[in-house]
A and B are shown apart, each in its own frame.
Chain A
C-alpha cells in the first residue's frame, strides 16, 4: 500500500508543493525582516521626539551645555555633564575589566590545561549572566561600605567608584572571551617559529601571541567600552543621580567618590518621573537616548571592523 502511494506523492500535486514551499519561505523571510523593523523602530522612536526636543532647545545648547537640570528652574538641558559622568564610570570599569580580561584571556589561551579551561570558562560566563540590578545592589550595599573601611577614603552612599568597579567585574568575561578567540586564532606556526628561535613561553605569549592578536583584543576592548556606556541598572542603583561637570582638575579626580549621573541613569530618571509626555523634559529623554544609541553604535561598528581585520589575517 505504502509502496504504491509513495511515488504518486512525489510526482503528484507539484504545483501545490511549490505553493507550500513559497509560503514557508515568505513566512521565514517575514521573521528575518522583523529584525530590520526593530532597527527602523528604534531609530524612529528616538528621532521623532528628539526632533520635537530640538525645536525648543538648540543643538548647540544640548551638545555643548555644561549644566543638566530638567526639573528645577531654570531648566537647562546640556548633555555634557551626563557624557562626563558616563566617561567617569566607563573609565573606572575599563580600568578593572581591560587588564583582568586580557590576563584572563592570556591564561585561557596559552597556559590553562583543558580541564581548567572547562571549569573556568563557564564560571566566567556566570559573571556576565547575573542581572545588572543585582550587581547594582551589590555595589550599593556591600562594595561601598567595604571601600569606606579603607582609611582615608570617604565615599558617599551613592558613588561612581563602587559602581564602576562592579561594572568592570561584570565586563571581564566579554573582554576575555573575544580576546581569547583572537589569541587562539593565532596560528601555531608563529608560536613554533618563536620557540625555534629560543624564545620562552613568556616571550611567545607577550611578544608574539598578544601582538598578533592585537586587532581582536582591541575589538574586545571597544566592545567592552560600548557595553559600559550603555549599562544602566548598576549606575541607577549605586551611582546616584547628580549630574556634575568638573570645573577644575581636582574636581575631576574627586568625581569618582561622589554621586554621578550618566546618560542611561538620566533616561531612567526622566522615564520614572514623567511618562505622560509632551514636556521638553520628557523629550530630552529621547535626545539623550539618541546620543547614547549613536555612541554605542559607532563603537560596535568599530569593534566589528577590527574583528573582521583579524579574521582576514589568519583565515
Chain B
C-alpha cells in the first residue's frame, strides 16, 4: 500500500507529462468507443434483420462470391474514390435519394389517386379546388392584386363544398376523359408549372420554359414505349412521371453539366448494374440464391396465417394514405402557428405573456408520451367527434397533433434563420406584413420547413402506441375504403406479427415488415437531409 502510493508519487513528479498523457489518450479512446457503441449495436441488429428478411441463410457461398464481385467491390471502390472526391460522393447520394424518393412518392400518388380516390373523384375535387387555385396563382403573379390571397382562402373553404355538391356531374367529366386524360390535366400540367418555377427560382441551370415544355411533351411521346410494358399502365406512368422522372432528370442533368460532379454518376449506375447482374447471373450458373421474405409477393398481398402467403399490402396503403393526410394537416397548421409566433406575436405586455405561454406549451407538448396522444385521440376524435374507432381520419388527426409541436419548432427555426435585414428592406419598401411573409420570408424558409416536416413525418409513420389506443385493427385484409374507412398501418402489422410464436413469423415475416418500414424511413430521411444540404448553403 505504502509502496504503491510512493511509486505513484515519484512517477508523477518525474514524468509529469507522460502519465497524464496516457490517461488522456485512454480517456479519448473511451469516449470515442462510447460514441460508436450505439451506432454499432444498431448496425449489428440491422444486419440480423436484413439477414432474416432476405433469407440469406439458404444462399450458397458461390452466390456470396457473385455478390462480392458484382455489388460489393464496385460500391466499395466507388466509396473509396468518393473519400478523395467528395463532390462525386454527393452526386451519387443526390441521384440515389432522388430515385428512391421518386419511387416512393410515386407509389404514394398512385395509392391515393388511383387505389383510394379513383380518377373520377379526384378530378371532381381538382376542378373545384385545384383549378381555381391555379388560376388565382397565375393571375396573382401577373397582376399585384390585393384580393387574390383572400380569394385563395375562399376557394379552400368553398371548393371542397362545391366539389361535394357537384360530385356527380364533375366526376362524369373525369369519366369522359378517362384515367390518363385526367392525370395529364391534373398532375402533369401543374407539374410543368411547378418545375418551371423551381428551375427558374432556385436552380441556376437550364431555362425553366424548356423544362416545362419537356414535362408536357415527353409523357405523351413515351406512351408507345410504355404500352409495351405490361405492368405499367398509362395512368401509373403519368403519376410516376412527375415524382420520379422529372426530379431525377433535373438532378441528373445538373450533375452531368458540372464537370467536377460528372464522375459521381458512376456510383449509382454501378450499383444498379451490379444488382441487375446479381439477379441474373446466379440463375444462369445454377447457383442457389437466398430465399427472401421481402419480395414483390410480400408487398402486394394481404396478411395471412400462413407465413409464406403473408403480405403487407393493406398496411402499406393504410400508412401511405394516413401519412399524406398528416402531411397536409401539419404543414398548414405548423407553418401557420410558426408564422404567428415568429412574425406576429407580441413579445411584451399581457399579450406577450400569452405568446410566452403558447411557446412553453408547445415545447412541453413535444415531451408528452405518444401513448397519451393515443388516449387524446380516443377521447376526442373517436368518441366525442364520432370519427370512428380505427378509421383513417381519426389516425391522421391523432398523429398530426402528435407531431405538430415538432413541426412548429422546426418551422420556427427555419423562419428565424431568415435575416432581419431582408424583412426590414421589405417593410422599408412599403410592403405589408403578409406581403413580406409571402415574397421574402416563405421562399427562403420553405426548404428548412420541408426538412423539419419530413423528419417529423418519419416519426409519425413509425408510431404504433397511439394507433393501438384509437382502436386501429391489428390485422386487416383490405386497404381502407376512404377517409372514414377502417385501416391498419405498417408498424401496427409488425406489432401484431411479432406476437406470433412461430419461427417463420418471428424471423421471416416480421423481419420483412421491419425492412419495409426502415426502407421507407431511410428514404424520407435522406430526402430531408438532401433538401437541407441543397438549399441551406448560406447565401446570406
Q: Using an 8 Å CB-CB cutoff, how does the interface string of B390-402 with A read, 1 for contact, 0 for none?
A: 0000000000010
Instruction: Kindly list chain B residues whose C-beta atoms are within 8 Å of the C-beta of A35.
Output: 337, 358, 361-362, 365, 404-405, 408
Interface string of B348-374 (1 = CB under 8 A from A): 000000000110111111011111111
- Establish whether residues B510 and A137, one from each chain, have CB atoms under 8 Å apart when the complex forms: yes
Does A169 sit at the interface, judged by CB under 8 A? yes
Counted as pairs of residues, one from A and one from B, with CB atoms less than 8 Å apart, the total is 275
Q: Which of B317-344 contact A (CB under 8 A)?
A: 332-337, 339-341, 343-344
User: Which residues on the B side are within 8 Å of A6 (C-beta)?
Assistant: 144
Q: State whether the Cβ of A141 lies closer than 8 Å to any Cβ in chain B.
A: yes
Report the minimum CB–CB distance from B69 to chain A (whole Å): 28
How would you classify the secondary structure of chain B's contact residues: helix, strand, loop or mixed?
A: helix
Q: A100 touches which one: B37, B432, B459, B510 (CB < 8 A)? A: B37
- Asked if B337 and A31 sit within 8 Å, CB to CB, the answer is yes
* Complex Cα–Cα for A142 and B521 (A): 21
Cβ of A28 and Cβ of B337 under 8 Å apart?
Answer: yes
| B221 contacts the other chain (CB 8 A) | no
Docked pose: A25 CA to B344 CA in angstroms:
7
Secondary structure at the A interface, as helix, strand, loop or mixed, is helix
Q: A42-B376, A45-B380, A200-B24 are in contact. Are A127 and B34 (CB under 8 A)?
A: no
Assess whether A203 is interfacial by the CB under 8 Å rule: yes
CB <8 Å contact, A176 and B340: no
B-binding residues in A (CB < 8 A): 6, 9-10, 13, 16-17, 20-21, 23-25, 27-36, 38-39, 41-42, 44-46, 48-49, 99-100, 103-104, 106-108, 110-112, 120, 122-124, 126-127, 129-134, 136-138, 140-143, 169, 172-173, 176, 200-203, 205-206, 223, 226-227, 229-233, 236-237, 264, 267-268, 271-272, 275, 277, 285-286, 289, 292-293, 296-297, 300-301, 303-304
- Complex A-B: 30 CB contacts under 8 Å: A9-B145, A13-B146, A24-B437, A30-B336, A34-B337, A42-B368, A48-B379, A100-B34, A103-B30, A107-B31, A107-B34, A110-B31, A112-B35, A123-B39, A129-B521, A132-B465, A134-B491, A137-B49, A142-B48, A176-B35, A203-B20, A233-B464, A268-B469, A271-B374, A271-B378, A272-B468, A275-B378, A289-B372, A297-B367, A297-B368
Interface residues of B (CB under 8 A from A): 20-21, 23-24, 27-28, 30-32, 34-35, 37-39, 41-42, 45, 48-49, 144-147, 149-150, 153, 332-337, 339-341, 343-345, 357-358, 360-365, 367-376, 378-380, 383, 389, 401, 404-405, 408, 430, 432-434, 437, 455, 458-459, 461-465, 468-469, 471, 474, 491, 494-495, 498-499, 506-507, 510, 514, 517-518, 521, 525, 529
Closest 5 CB pairs of A and B: A230-B369, A131-B462, A31-B336, A45-B379, A103-B34
